[in-house]
A = this chain, B = another copy of it.
Amino acid sequence: MHSKESAILLISCPDKKGIVYKISHFIYSNNGNILRSDQHADEESGTFFMRIEWDLDGFAIEKNKIIKAFEPIAAEYSMNWQLHFSAKQQRTSIFVSKMDHCLYDILLKAKEGEIATDIACIISNHESLGTIAKYFNIPFFVFQKTKENKLQQEQKELAVLKDFDVDCIVLARYMQILSAHFVSHYPNKIINIHHSFLPAFKGAKPYHQAYQHGVKIIGATSHYVTELLDQGPIIEQDVIRVSHKDSIEDIIRKGKDIEKLVLSRALKKHLEHKVLVYANKTIVFD
């Protein structure tokens, strides 16, 4: 919990000697103090991943010149990189249908500052959750979708997202599949919650599938949305025990508690720039 402003560098590149040295030299020689640093080397592919965060107080380079100053190092090591500032609160749009449990959970955690984000707007294909948006004082938009009008409606949604300067989209039990075109506007920035322990029970009615299979544990999975349904990089999963005594209704009820936890944890990690995507998998720093 730093009240101070910090810079966050996210890096992936081929693993080579000297990366940590070069980056820490860049920070130290400009009078920066490292607040935290996490790294990971994927031995299979020889790829190096890093998240390093330093205090901007007293840092010798102005914020808007850091990118320029860091570029030579990035080029030398062929880095894929992003620079973020902790002071820049990200803006999130929540997509919902009729179920409200994940929506409430995120709104309440955002309100408490437990998830650091501005909820820019709520978008739905139904009117029903509008009263919640009103209670939390969040702009609410309804775009009903049919097979025929889907792409047009998505254009309108994209326009709203642009208007509201949205960085990140959460599908909080949104019961519509987004087109590949839509998804391409927010690569690794759309987070879905699927109510199963993926890759088991992809697609529709996963709790019913779980019930039919007689599993003893059910789960929920939060992942980035890609073109392929329920197959994007997994960010977080959790599970809960069920038994033969649990009806479908019990399973749905128990599952909802897990969905909330998993989705809000994934969103929090994403917003803290702690998630890196690689080979359709994620590196999630603690």
Binding site for B on A (CB under 8 A): 1, 17-21, 24-25, 27-29, 31-43, 100-101, 104, 108, 112, 114, 135, 197-201, 213-217, 219, 233-239, 243-245, 247, 249, 253, 256-257, 261, 279-284, 286
Contacts and interface: CB of A to CB of B under 8 A. Distances in A.
Interface of A is mostly: mixed
Q: Which one of A1, A21, A201, A234 has the highest number of Cβ atoms from chain B below 10 Å of its Cβ?
A: A21
A38 B285 CA distance: 11
Nearest to A239: B239
A237 B253 contact: no
Nearest to A33: B17
Q: How many copies does the complex hold?
A: 4
A24 B20 contact: yes
A253 B114 contact: yes
Contact of A40 (B17, B233, B244): B244
Given A17-B28, A17-B33, A36-B41, 6 more contacts: A25-B25, A40-B245, A197-B217, A197-B219, A200-B200, A245-B286
A283 B197 contact: no
Nearest to A37: B39
A230 to B, nearest CB: 12
A21 B237 CA distance: 36
Contact of A214 (B35, B200, B253, B281): B281
A165 to B, nearest CB: 27
Nearest to A285: B244
